[in-house]
Structure 1
Amino acid sequence: MDEIERFKAEVEANIESLGRDGDLQALSRVWVREISRHKYAYNFRWLGRPAIQFPNDAWAMQEIIWAVRPDLIIETGIAHGGSLVFSASMLALLELCDAAERGETVDPRKPARKVLGIDIDIRAHNRAAIEAHPMASRIEMIQGSSISAEVIGQVKAIAANHSKVLICLDSNHTHEHVLAELEAYAPLTSPGSYCVVFDTLVEDMPADMFPDRPWGPGNNPKTAVHEYLKSHPEFTIDKAIDHKLLISVAPDGYLRRDR
């Protein structure tokens, strides 16, 4: 075994060990519970735009994007646009790396890879900031309900022009809405790619953390994921991601399409 393979095996053993450590798993859930009371996820930006995400999950998404090498990332939920900018920048890096391997240059005005964001309410100030961002040429936005027939039709038409699709679901967090999003968009996930469902951690948090929201324990993205997987064996939860992150908004939410 060469040194690269030896290190890879060591990392895999580390992750397996983390997954077996029940005390550490429980401690991580307590930590997430307590920092969430302080809106911890609101504290981070990507290239100037608020991302409303845990840094650990951003790192996991970077690894997934590099491994999958999608030419289209579909995201439900836009908010301030930080996640769209993050995904666009990762796709830009992919194109730069691919071009460097070929000894070519990239024309940023003609991106081959794009991000499609969907939100029921794209506020004017957020839209203006996203459209003024240096990554804007890689970003397309649709305003409307992610589960309306009209929007789903638009998304499917765009996805049909791409060969490798990655899905991120992060809008309304009720069971009913997320399950409808999964039914609509998970089938667009390319084999070997991922459908990532964010904020599954709601299931593991106290009910009193969501007094002004229509979701909570028993009614959230994680319950939708488990319901969806009952009839969709082509997807599996990538537990290795959960185990290595420990601190994540998406436990059981990293769904890999195996076939």
Structure 2
Amino acid sequence: MTFDDEVAARVAANETNSTLQADAKALIGSSIRAGYSYNFSWMGRPIIQYPQDIVAMQELIWRVQPDLIIETGIAHGGSLIFSAAMLELNAACGGPADARVLGIDIDIRSHNRKAIEAHPMMKRISMIEGSSIAQDVIDKVKAAASDKQSVLVCLDSNHTHAHVLDELRAYAPLVSVGSYCVVFDTIVEDLPDSLFPDRPWGPGDNPKTAVHEFLKTHAHAFEIDRAIDNKLLVSVAPDGYLRRVA
């Protein structure tokens, strides 16, 4: 048995390991209450992600070798910097030399924009300020993706069901076969409503409900990559790693 076979077997076993699943669920709940994901940065910029999801994205970016990564939601810019850095490493190893990251946010705050624009990885980054579901923004993103061979999409902006569903309908078709549309914060569905007292989303109205609604009409083209869920266990994106299969 090869090492890769051993990894696959361990990951598959995680799905039925009730003790490990319960421990992971408890850690997610307690860590979210503690603001755990706000404690990390990538090359100097806050990334606001779990380390497990950061590693998962590294694996996908290496495997897919995208020449465009589309990200909705910019915040402090850590995810943009991370994606750009991964594309820089890909290029150094023979990947697409001119690969880029396109970030979209309805409000790119001036101090965050300045920090992103001053970063060495800015050379691979473009940003659009506007609603990710506004038609003029969608048109700009489609134009940017029109000549790309391999496109990966990450959705991490407004987390309501309606907004994420609109994002999926707009941007998932841009994903290349074999690549991914990653929907973050699907974990909201699995957490108590009390954790979101000041948010318009919560259990029953969140990215995971949007993913399941989207898949009702797009299961021929996308599937949830359960192997990623079973590998990570601690993740803000359960059911959110959508692989394009057709």
1:197 and 1:221 in contact (8 A); partners too:
yes
2:201 counterpart letter in structure 1: W
Give deviations 1:148-176, integer Å, cap 9, x for gaps: 00100000000002110000000000000
Q: Which runs of 4+ in 1 moved over 2 A?
A: none
RMSD: 1.1
User: For this pair of structures, how many residues does the alignment match?
Assistant: 245
Distance 2:214 2:229 in 1: 19
One-letter code of the match for 1:180? D
**For 1:148 and 1:15, how far apart are their aligned partners in 2?**
39
Q: Give the equivalent residue in structure 2 for 1:66.
A: 62
Secondary structure of 1:231's aligned partner: helix
Q: Report the Cα offset of residue 19 of structure 1.
A: 1.1
Residue of structure 1 in register with 2:218 after alignment: 232
Structure 1 residue 93, shift from structure 2 partner: 0.3
Q: 1:85 aligns with which of 64, 81, 84?
A: 81
How far has the Cα of 1:27 moved from its partner? 2.1
Structure 2: runs of 5 or more not aligned: none
* Cα deviation digits, residues 191-240 of structure 1 (max 9, x gap): 00000000000000000000000000000000000000010021000000
* Offset at residue 22 of structure 1 (A): 2.5
* In structure 2, C-alpha distance between the alignment counterparts of 1:29 and 1:189, rounded to whole Å: 30
Checking the alignment, whether the CA contact within 8 Å between 1:235 and 1:255 is kept in structure 2 is yes
Q: Which amino acid aligns with 1:68?
A: V
User: Contact 1:78–1:122 (CA<8 Å) still a contact in 2?
Assistant: yes
Offset, 1:77:
0.1
Q: Does 1:141 align with 2:127?
A: yes
Is 2:246 aligned against 1:250? no
User: 112, 125, 147: which is aligned to 2:98?
Assistant: 112
User: Who is 1:220 aligned against?
Assistant: 206
Alignment counterpart, residue 98 of structure 1, candidates 86, 94, 112 = 94
Matched, 1:24 2:20: yes
Q: TM-score, normalised by structure 1?
A: 0.93
Identity across matched positions, percent: 63
Q: Could you tell me how far apart the structure 2 residues matched to 1:118 and 1:68 are?
A: 21
Distance (whole Å) between structure 2 residues aligned to residue 191 and residue 65 of structure 1: 14
Amino acid in structure 2 at the alignment position of 1:183:
R
1:189 and 2:175 matched? yes
Give the unaligned 5+ runs of structure 1.
100-105
Letter in 1 for 2:68: L
Look up the equivalent residue of 2:2 and give its one-letter code.
Answer: R
Q: Which amino acid aligns with 1:33?
A: G
Which residue pairs with 1:39 in the alignment?
35
Instruction: Quote the Cα distance in structure 1 between the aligned partners of 2:123 and 2:58.
Output: 20
Which residue of structure 2 aligns with residue 103 of structure 1? none
Counterpart of 2:80 in structure 1: which amino acid? L
User: Quick one: distance in 2 between partners of 1:161 and 1:120?
Assistant: 25
Structure of greater Rg: 1
CA distance in structure 2 between the partners assigned to 1:176 and 1:211 by the alignment: 19
Normalised by the size of structure 2, how large is the TM-score?
0.98
